[in-house]
């Protein structure tokens, strides 16, 4: 089967990541438990008339995908595959609120039309006039990994040459309040550098869109090679180390071969134990984390994927993401691990190309 490469990236997050020329040089600090994405100048990518009718998630998805396509020097792709946990939740809330307020009468259809989970993928296709394969995965916190596995299979089997994939989620006011009530969001304010020292349940919530052009042909802009992706719905804490070792063994690797371990710690005292367990198993390996920069959301792992891609290409590990003090001379093989509230575990293995 053919190799698969990450040929370009495009990111909109709680940091100023939309500029591919920079790499976490200017950190946006926050002290809220629900943090917004830093907006680029949307009119540089979308006409103001069209942007006014778009929810934030749609705008983030379109712009991050255009950034990725521009870097890859492509006008179109063979397929668009999107992952999202909540879809266009703001329009969903708006439509439900209108049903209640208007006693189910005189409803404007636009919020309903734009509230579906596949709206982002559809709008990107309309912008590109792409009539190829277009699929959206709504698999909670492994939505991005599901999109990634789909693209990986198609490219390995030479069914496509260039595929645009991404993960996108936005905040919704009502949905956020529900998460606060059920303690999924931290009750107290936590600064970005104190996240791992938090002793309470819940996480700091974020939003964002991260898109990538994947190809089975290496280019001058290639960031890394995707070796493998594996997901597990449930995984016991005491079996995590053995599962990670087994995953690496499938590719003739051991823990000593990993140059960097990227973990999805979010400060939740009840579930960060999974990350701590794996961290101990890779105690001699440099480690990094990222949700203190991006916040937690269903497709936050796509930000971790962006981080890994940038580290491999630039061969630099920003100080702000370091989880331990172990040093490496180079970053050729990177392992990512993510889970959310003890479920939907994923391992992603990237290597230098």
Question: Which tokens belong to 198?
Answer: 């938090």
Helix (H), strand (E), coil (C) string for 150-207:
HHHHHHHCCCCCEEEEEEEECCCHHHHHHHHHCCCECCCCCCHHHHHHCCCCCECECC
User: Which residue ranges does the chain devote to CATH 3.40.47.10?
Assistant: 4-215, 224-351
Asked if the model's pLDDT at residue 285 lies above 90, the reply is yes
For residue range 42-100, list pLDDT tens digits in order.
999 999 998 888 889 999 999 999 999 999 999 999 999 999 999 999 888 888 887 88
Place of tokens 């070792």: 245
Task: Give per-residue pLDDT as tens, 95-154.
Answer: 888 788 888 887 777 777 777 899 999 999 999 999 999 999 999 999 999 999 999 999
Q: Among candidates 222, 310, 164, 160, which has minimal Cα distance to 6?
A: 222
The pLDDT of residue 198? 92
How high is the pLDDT of residue 115? 78
CATH class of 224-351: alpha beta
- Predicted local confidence at residue 125, as pLDDT: 97
Tell me the pTM. 0.96
**pLDDT, tens digit, 9 for 90 and up, residues 212-239:** 999 999 999 999 999 999 999 999 999 9
Do residues 63 and 45 lie in contact, with contact meaning Cβ atoms separated by under 8 Å? yes
pLDDT score, position 100: 85
Q: Which helix (H) or strand (E) holds 313?
A: helix 301-314
190 pLDDT band (50/70/90 cuts)? confident
Is 4-215 CATH 3.40.47.10? yes
Query: Which DSSP letter does residue 10 get?
Result: E
Judge whether 228 and 264 are in contact, CB under 8 Å: no
Per-residue pLDDT band for 280 (boundaries 50, 70, 90) equals very high
Residue scoring higher pLDDT (103 or 251) = 251
Structure confidence at residue 121 (pLDDT) = 97
Q: For the chain, what is the mean pLDDT? A: 95
**Residues 324-347: pLDDT tens digits?**
999 999 999 999 999 999 999 999
């Amino acid at each position: 089967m053919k190799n698969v490469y990450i040929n370009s990236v495009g990111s909109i997050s709680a940091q100023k990541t939309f500029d591919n020329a920079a790499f976490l040089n200017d950190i946006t600090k926050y002290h809220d438990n629900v943090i917004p994405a830093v907006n680029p100048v949307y009119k540089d990518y979308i006409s103001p008339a069209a942007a006014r009718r778009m929810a934030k998630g749609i705008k983030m998805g379109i712009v991050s995908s255009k950034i990725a396509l521009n870097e890859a020097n492509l006008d179109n792709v063979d397929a668009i595959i999107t992952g999202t946990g909540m879809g266009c939740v703001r329009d969903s809330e708006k439509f439900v609120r209108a049903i209640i307020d208007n006693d189910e009468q005189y409803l404007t259809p636009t919020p309903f039309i734009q509230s579906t989970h596949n709206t982002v993928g559809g709008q990107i296709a309309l912008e590109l006039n792409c009539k190829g394969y277009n699929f959206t995965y709504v698999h909670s916190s492994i939505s991005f990994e599901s999109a990634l596995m789909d693209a990986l299979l198609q490219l390995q089997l030479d069914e496509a040459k260039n595929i645009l994939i991404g993960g996108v989620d936005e905040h919704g006011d009502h949905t956020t309040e529900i998460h606060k009530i059920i303690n999924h969001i931290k009750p107290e304010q936590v600064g970005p550098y104190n996240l791992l020292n938090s002793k309470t349940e819940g996480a700091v919530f974020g939003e964002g869109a991260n898109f990538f052009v994947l190809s089975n042909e290496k280019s001058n802009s290639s960031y890394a090679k995707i070796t493998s992706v594996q997901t597990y719905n449930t995984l016991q804490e005491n079996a995590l180390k053995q599962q990670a070792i087994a995953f690496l063994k499938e590719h003739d690797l051991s823990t000593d071969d990993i140059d960097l371990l990227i973990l999805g710690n979010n400060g939740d005292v009840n579930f960060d134990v999974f990350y701590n367990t794996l961290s101990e198993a890779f105690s001699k390996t440099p480690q990094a984390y990222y949700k203190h920069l991006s916040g937690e959301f269903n497709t936050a792992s796509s930000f971790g994927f962006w981080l890994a891609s940038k580290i491999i290409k630039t061969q630099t590990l920003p100080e702000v993401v370091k989880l331990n003090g172990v040093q490496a001379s180079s970053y050729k093989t990177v392992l990512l691990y993510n889970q959310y509230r003890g479920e939907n575990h994923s391992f992603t293995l990237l290597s230098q190309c």
